[in-house]
């Protein structure tokens, strides 16, 4: 496990700095106690990271659940009642895992996954621009187009232009310069620059800048533009930050509705992230999806029991881990331990970190997810790949993560249905000789009801007085819908248009078969399987 500690430790530091503001911001956006976001981050790192089968995935509170949490806390009558739903949601996820529901994760099209990664990259960049310039009206982690502060993604950027904090902007630019210098130049100069990561240096520079300037000066940074970790003044006050479920609310039907919603959304986000991180992983590890659902379920049960937000595997932290060279689950675990130790021992130091520096780190993460070259690549793959990709990207930017992915999936399904109708590889026409009127059509290895349109179209094009050979020797599966089409054609249209039919199969050749349905009922099991 410690074989790649030289890779995992630096990566965990970067993930820690990415996770810290997101944990706090998502809690704020959810209307939950700030400490609940940190609990979810710690549990997601240490517990889920230990149980997960993913080597590079990182779990924590998810931005996609913020709106659900915000609404649920109000409808369920308090945060303690909501925690019951989180625990039950974790139990339901465990059931999903035992039922092998993780197989769903393998059915997301590649174009949609790439669109998801690119869309998230773009939304990270757009959402971090205001924080980079010191405009922090909307909390970190609010990734929806319509924000909780009443603005939208683009109006927030326009507002930030009119409310620039000079001090935050200066250290943001310095931090971004350090990150670019580190990754493009210094990291190639020696091992010391690979062990000490650029984000750590940028954060240190931000703390030094804040301490060395007065918040009252033109170039200073106001406390409202800094990280805001809860600071307990004693051990008892630290323990007092934990909340516990009110299990007397377990009989409330609404609690169960929220629990199922959390389980379903958290599982979908996790499976999507698993697919995305496996695609990003340069070592191409494959995450066992059912094991991941079980790990997430355990994490949510524990998080709910001690006052934390719902947990999912999250792409922002996972991609930061991959980009920083993380190799094993140890990087996720260590980042969780860093969160735990830092909020106990150095909360005051954390509260000196400018948000604009952390925004600079996230800008780099976002750019690496949404590189311009990817757009050119997807266009080059043709419209069948590029259309779901662009719909997913636009959907994520202008709505939210789940809606964007749903739109991309819907377009992907429509494309599949359309191409199944048009595509000739389900129905081959192997030459058409007008002189002798002979036409040979070879059915594919598997022909389903998706291919009804294509087959009907081809049969309708067979001219009068033709000799049609239908070859099913290579066909292993023939949907009953297709057999009915052949039956209707042979009994009605073929007779009306004086078309002779020869059926070629492994059982032999039949001239003008009296019934396709009866013929395939008598098929040998080794030949064609019917639905």
Instruction: Please check the confidence at residue 530 and state whether its pLDDT lies above 60.
Output: no
Average pLDDT, integer, range 146-174: 95
* Whole-number pLDDT of residue 531: 44
> b/e map of 1-31 (b: 16 or more CB within 10 Å)?
eeebeebbbbbbbbbbbbbbbbbbbbbbbbb
Average pLDDT, integer, range 430-434: 50
* Whole-number pLDDT of residue 424: 41
Instruction: Please check the confidence at residue 431 and state whether its pLDDT lies above 70.
Output: no
Segment among 141-155, 249-263, 517-531 with least mean pLDDT: 517-531
* Whole-number pLDDT of residue 20: 96
Transcribe 412-427 into DSSP letters: HHHHHHHHHHH-GGGE
| Pair of tokens at residue 5 | 């500690």
Alpha helices in 196-234 (DSSP H): 198-212
Nearest to 303 by CA among 262, 359, 270, 363: 262
Instruction: Please check the confidence at residue 394 and state whether its pLDDT lies above 70.
Output: yes
Average pLDDT, integer, range 185-209: 89
Average pLDDT, integer, range 188-192: 82
Higher pLDDT, 516 or 83: 83
Q: Rounded mean pLDDT of the chain?
A: 90
Higher pLDDT, 447 or 350: 350
Which CATH superfamily groups domain 424-530? Answer: STAS domain (3.30.750.24)
Average pLDDT, integer, range 26-34: 94
Query: How many alpha carbons lie under 13 Å from residue 217 in its C-beta half-sphere?
Result: 10
Instruction: Please check the confidence at residue 104 and state whether its pLDDT lies above 50.
Output: yes
| Pair of tokens at residue 245 | 């479920």
Instruction: Please check the confidence at residue 10 and state whether its pLDDT lies above 80.
Output: yes
* Whole-number pLDDT of residue 127: 96
Q: What are phi and psi of 100, to 5 degrees?
A: 65, 35
**Calpha distance 215→346 (Å, rounded):** 21
Residue 264, burial from CB neighbour count under 10 angstroms (0-12, 13-18, 19+)? middle
Percent of the chain residues topping a pLDDT of 70 = 94
Average pLDDT, integer, range 372-386: 91
Q: pLDDT digits over 64-91, tens only?
A: 899 899 999 999 999 999 999 999 999 9
Beta strands 438-443 and 427-433, pairing class:
antiparallel
- Can you give the residue ranges of every domain in the chain? 5-395, 424-530
* CB of 191 closer than 8 Å to CB of 6: no
* Whole-number pLDDT of residue 113: 92
Instruction: Please check the confidence at residue 1 and state whether its pLDDT lies above 70.
Output: no
* Whole-number pLDDT of residue 345: 92
CA dihedral 330, 336, 339, 344 (to 10 degrees): -100
Cα distances from 162 to residues 136, 241, 360, in angstroms, run 13, 37, 20
* Whole-number pLDDT of residue 421: 59
Residues 6+ apart with CB under 8 A from 473: 504, 505, 506
**Calpha distance 25→39 (Å, rounded):** 13
Q: 422: pLDDT confidence band, cut at 50, 70 and 90?
A: low
Instruction: Please check the confidence at residue 436 and state whether its pLDDT lies above 80.
Output: no
Residues 6+ apart with CB under 8 A from 1: 328, 329, 330
Q: 523: pLDDT confidence band, cut at 50, 70 and 90?
A: low
Q: What are phi and psi of 468, to 5 degrees?
A: -105, 120
Nearest to 333 by CA among 102, 80, 5, 67: 5
* Whole-number pLDDT of residue 429: 52
Q: By three-state DSSP, how is residue 381 classified?
A: coil
Beta bridge partners of 352: none
Percent of the chain residues topping a pLDDT of 90 = 67
Q: 525: pLDDT confidence band, cut at 50, 70 and 90?
A: very low
**In angstroms, how far is CA 290 from the centroid of its own chain?**
16
Q: pLDDT digits over 220-274, tens only?
A: 999 999 999 999 888 888 899 999 999 999 999 999 999 999 999 999 999 999 9
DSSP 309: P
Average pLDDT, integer, range 468-489: 87
| Pair of tokens at residue 126 | 């757009």
């Amino acid at each position: 496990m410690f074989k790649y500690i030289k890779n995992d430790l630096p990566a965990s530091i970067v993930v820690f700095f990415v996770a810290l503001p997101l944990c706090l911001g998502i809690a704020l956006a959810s209307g939950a106690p700030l400490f609940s976001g940190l609990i979810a981050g710690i549990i997601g790192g240490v517990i889920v990271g230990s149980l997960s089968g993913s080597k590079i995935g990182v779990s924590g509170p998810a931005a996609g659940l913020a709106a659900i949490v915000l609404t649920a806390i109000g409808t369920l009558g308090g945060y303690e009642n909501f925690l019951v739903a989180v625990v039950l949601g974790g139990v339901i996820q465990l059931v999903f895992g035992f039922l092998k529901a993780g197989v769903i994760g393998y059915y997301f099209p590649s174009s949609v996954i790439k669109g998801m990664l690119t869309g998230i990259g773009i939304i990270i960049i757009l959402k971090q621009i205001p924080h980079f310039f010191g405009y922090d009206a909307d909390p970190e982690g609010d990734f929806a187009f319509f924000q909780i502060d009443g603005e939208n993604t683009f109006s927030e950027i326009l507002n930030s232009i009119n409310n620039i904090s000079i001090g935050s902007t200066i250290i943001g630019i310095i931090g971004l310069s350090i990150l670019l210098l580190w990754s493009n130049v210094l990291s190639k100069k020696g091992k010391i620059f690979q062990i000490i990561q650029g984000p750590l240096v940028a954060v240190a520079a931000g703390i030094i800048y804040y301490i060395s300037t007065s918040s009252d000066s033109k170039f200073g940074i106001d406390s409202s533009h800094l990280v805001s970790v809860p600071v307990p003044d004693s051990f008892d006050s630290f323990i007092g930050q934990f909340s516990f479920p009110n299990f007397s609310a377990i009989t409330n039907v609404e609690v169960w509705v929220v629990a199922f919603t959390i389980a379903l959304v958290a599982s979908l986000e996790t499976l999507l992230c698993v697919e995305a991180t496996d695609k990003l992983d340069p070592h191409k590890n494959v995450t066992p999806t059912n094991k991941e659902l079980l790990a997430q379920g355990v994490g949510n049960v524990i998080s709910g029991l001690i006052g934390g937000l719902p947990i999912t595997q999250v792409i922002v932290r996972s991609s930061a881990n991959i980009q920083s060279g993380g190799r094993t689950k140890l990087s996720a675990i260590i980042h969780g331990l860093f969160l735990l130790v830092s909020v106990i021992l150095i909360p005051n130091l954390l509260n000196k970190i400018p948000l604009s520096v952390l925004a600079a780190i996230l800008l780099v993460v976002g750019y690496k997810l949404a590189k311009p070259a990817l757009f050119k690549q997807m266009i080059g793959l043709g419209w069948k790949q590029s259309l779901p990709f662009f719909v997913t990207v636009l959907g994520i930017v202008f709505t939210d993560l789940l809606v964007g992915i749903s739109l991309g999936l819907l377009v992907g399904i429509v494309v599949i249905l359309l191409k199944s109708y048009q595509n000739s590889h389900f129905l081959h026409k192997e030459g058409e000789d007008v002189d002798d009127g002979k036409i040979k059509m070879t059915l594919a290895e598997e022909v389903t009801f998706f291919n009804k349109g294509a087959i009907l179209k081809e049969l309708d094009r067979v001219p009068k007085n033709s000799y049609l050979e239908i070859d099913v020797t290579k066909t292993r599966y023939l949907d009953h819908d297709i057999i009915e089409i052949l039956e209707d054609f042979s009994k009605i249209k073929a007779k009306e248009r004086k078309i002779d039919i020869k059926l070629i199969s492994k059982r032999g050749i039949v001239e003008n078969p009296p019934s396709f349905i009866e013929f395939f009922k008598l098929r040998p099991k080794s030949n064609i399987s019917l639905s």
